[in-house]
Amino acid sequence: MHNVIVNTDISKGKINKNIYGHFAEHLGRCIYEGIWVGEDSPIPNTKGIRNDVLAALKNIKVPVLRWPGGCFADEYHWKDGVGPREGRKRMVNTHWGGVVENNHFGTHEFLLLCELLECEPYICGNVGSGTVQEMSEWVEYMTFDGESPMANWRKENGREQPWKLKYFGVGNENWGCGGNMRPEYYADLYRRFQTYVRNYGDNKIYKIAGGANVDDYNWTEVLMKNAGWLMDGLSLHYYTIPGDFWLGKGSALDFEEGEWFITMKKALHMDELITKHSTIMDKYDPEKRVGMIIDEWGTWFDVEPGTNPGFLYQQNSIRDALVAGVHFNIFHNHADRVQMTNIAQTVNVLQAMILTEGEKMILTPTYHVFDMFKVHQDAEVLAVESAVGSYEMGGEALPQVTVSASRDAEGKVHVSLVNIDHAGEAEISLDLRGFAAESVQASGTILTADRMNAHNTFEQPDAVAPKSFDGANVEGGRLSVKLPPMSVVTLAIH
């Protein structure tokens, strides 16, 4: 038996809806085919953006979208991607598969996508191979309302009014593909580049500095010490990789129980990373003004056999869904510092929401978790105390159940629970403090499967899909919840 207390009357602050953010890079079939098909495509589209993907993403209320990379960002020169499409430069996407990048999806197309999705754009600028002038002019091009060389060029290219742009990243992974820099050097470059990321008119930019890889705590220390007061957010990247990054990450579908266990262990590691990086940030920013922006996270497996190794295409199973649920519970419980996260990536790359094959599209188990958890967006995170039993393998123990809870603007309480055990049920006694016990009613949705690698295919698109959950009953003023093995549940408490 696992015991959980949800204090429905103790709020710990707001879950920034941007925790449900996304990341779409010029990588493999994410942008081209996954999002952009072009206006002349037989695939139904709105000004070149495919309608089926748009509708699916609107349904999960994508709050913010990061673009154009990733590693691509520090090789991207934005001027190649504006103006008449037929005249745009064809270049090589050196980082991802060496394929031709025709620049048909550029600044205008990305900002149109964000308008259609009604989400905030988050643009990542080029520090690694770009110039201060280039970055500064990009911001001027997008946001300056008046007469200036870049604003005039924007108007010539068909956009009279400036866009609103809030989130801007000053480089990506500058310790690696973004220039192989030392933190001291990048901190100085950040200070210099961000100076010219201007606020024009009433457009106020939230500046995000390139942060650490996994547990590189020194990077966070140096950045906060030398540039903390000049940033609004500091990023962190951490991927859940069951194997070894270079020697073999593991297959998305062909894995045994031991690999399931390691995957859950590595997903849970996110909690320690946030705690330790936050502690360093607290030293320089005790008011928690600077947001932690986890702008790349998710599972990273070996590519599907027979696919381009540079395209990072992987299938997505119930295991991925649990990884997503575990992450969201962690993010909610760190909502005081974590202000945005962006899963990698939206379509056809890594832990995707959506997979496409020509005109066909399927939703992944991860998509369904985003759908089930969207009730937490902008809700008040509630204080939760839990005493949970363990899930054990090979002498190691993990907490079998993770949990988080929130209260929305209408006063409705939502509790999300994840049972990471691949074989064992979890019986939970849920005490809802602050709710009149006799009046408690709960309804819920569950995502589960009977095989560890259950997944959706183009032939069976609904093999893993949410169902209504009837495993919660009121007993003696408490809610008794029975979670099947490998399940994610969101309860709505009335």
The catalytic residue positions are 173, 296
In this structure, the number of other CB atoms found within 10 A of the CB of residue 245 comes to 9
Which stretch in 41-49, 52-60, 64-72, 269-277 sits in contact with ligand AHR by CB under 6 A? 64-72
- Residue 172, interface with ligand AHR (CB under 6 A)? yes
Q: Pick one of 30, 62, 71, 426: the residue that binds ligand AHR (CB under 6 A).
A: 71
CB of 72 to ligand AHR, least distance (A): 6
Between 71 and 117, name the residue whose CB sits nearer to ligand AHR: 71
Which stretch in 66-74, 258-266, 323-331, 417-425 sits in contact with ligand AHR by CB under 6 A? 66-74
CB of 214 to ligand AHR, least distance (A): 11
Cα separation, 425 vs 482, in Å, equals 7
- Residue 210, interface with ligand AHR (CB under 6 A)? no
DSSP H or E segment with residue 397: strand 396-399
The length of the chain in residues reads 494
What is the identity of the amino acid at 67?
A: W
In this structure, the number of other CB atoms found within 10 A of the CB of residue 100 comes to 11
Between 232 and 296, name the residue whose CB sits nearer to ligand AHR: 296
CB of 71 to ligand AHR, least distance (A): 4
Q: 3-class DSSP state for residue 119?
A: coil
Q: Whose structure tokens read 């929305």? A: 408
In this structure, the number of other CB atoms found within 10 A of the CB of residue 180 comes to 12
DSSP 206-269: EEEEEEEETT-HHHHHHHHHHHGGG-SEEEEEEEE-SSBTTTB---SSS--HHHHHHHHHHHHH
Between 8 and 345, name the residue whose CB sits nearer to ligand AHR: 345
Contact code string over 216-255 relative to ligand AHR, x by CB under 6 A: ----------------------------------------
Among the listed residues 112, 68, 108, 103, the one whose alpha carbon sits nearest the alpha carbon of residue 85: 103
Q: Which of residues 470-489 bind ligand AHR (CB under 6 A)?
A: none
Specify which residues 445 forms β-bridges with: 468, 490
CB of 192 to ligand AHR, least distance (A): 22
Which stretch in 45-53, 68-76, 325-333, 402-410 sits in contact with ligand AHR by CB under 6 A? 68-76
Contact code string over 338-357 relative to ligand AHR, x by CB under 6 A: ------xx----x-------
CB of 145 to ligand AHR, least distance (A): 32
Cα separation, 340 vs 20, in Å, equals 7
Cα separation, 237 vs 343, in Å, equals 10
Which token pair is 159? 């956009």
CB of 297 to ligand AHR, least distance (A): 10
Q: Pick one of 25, 75, 109, 137: the residue that binds ligand AHR (CB under 6 A).
A: 25
Contacts 24+ apart (CB under 8 A), 437-442: 437/474, 437/477, 437/478, 438/477, 440/474, 440/477, 440/479, 440/493, 440/494, 441/474, 441/493, 441/494, 442/472, 442/474, 442/479, 442/491, 442/492, 442/493, 442/494
Cα separation, 163 vs 121, in Å, equals 10
CB of 130 to ligand AHR, least distance (A): 16
Determine the size of the site formed for ligand AHR (CB under 6 A): 10
Task: State how far the alpha carbon of 419 is from the alpha carbons of 8, 220, 388, 398, in Å.
Answer: 22, 32, 11, 11
Q: Which of residues 120-149 bind ligand AHR (CB under 6 A)?
A: none
CB of 29 to ligand AHR, least distance (A): 14
Between 82 and 350, name the residue whose CB sits nearer to ligand AHR: 350
Q: Pick one of 101, 140, 173, 232: the residue that binds ligand AHR (CB under 6 A).
A: 173
Between 160 and 245, name the residue whose CB sits nearer to ligand AHR: 245
- Residue 296, interface with ligand AHR (CB under 6 A)? yes
Which stretch in 63-71, 129-137, 303-311, 399-407 sits in contact with ligand AHR by CB under 6 A? 63-71
Between 69 and 399, name the residue whose CB sits nearer to ligand AHR: 69
Between 71 and 405, name the residue whose CB sits nearer to ligand AHR: 71
CB-nearest residue to ligand AHR: 70
For 373, which DSSP code?
A: H
Which token pair is 106? 């550029």
Among the listed residues 51, 173, 167, the one whose alpha carbon sits nearest the alpha carbon of residue 111: 167
Between 171 and 466, name the residue whose CB sits nearer to ligand AHR: 171
CB of 97 to ligand AHR, least distance (A): 12
Q: Pick one of 68, 69, 121, 291: the residue that binds ligand AHR (CB under 6 A).
A: 69
Between 70 and 485, name the residue whose CB sits nearer to ligand AHR: 70
Which token pair is 138? 């990009």
Cα separation, 339 vs 278, in Å, equals 12
Write out the residues near ligand AHR by the rule CB under 6 A. 25, 69-71, 172-173, 296, 344-345, 350
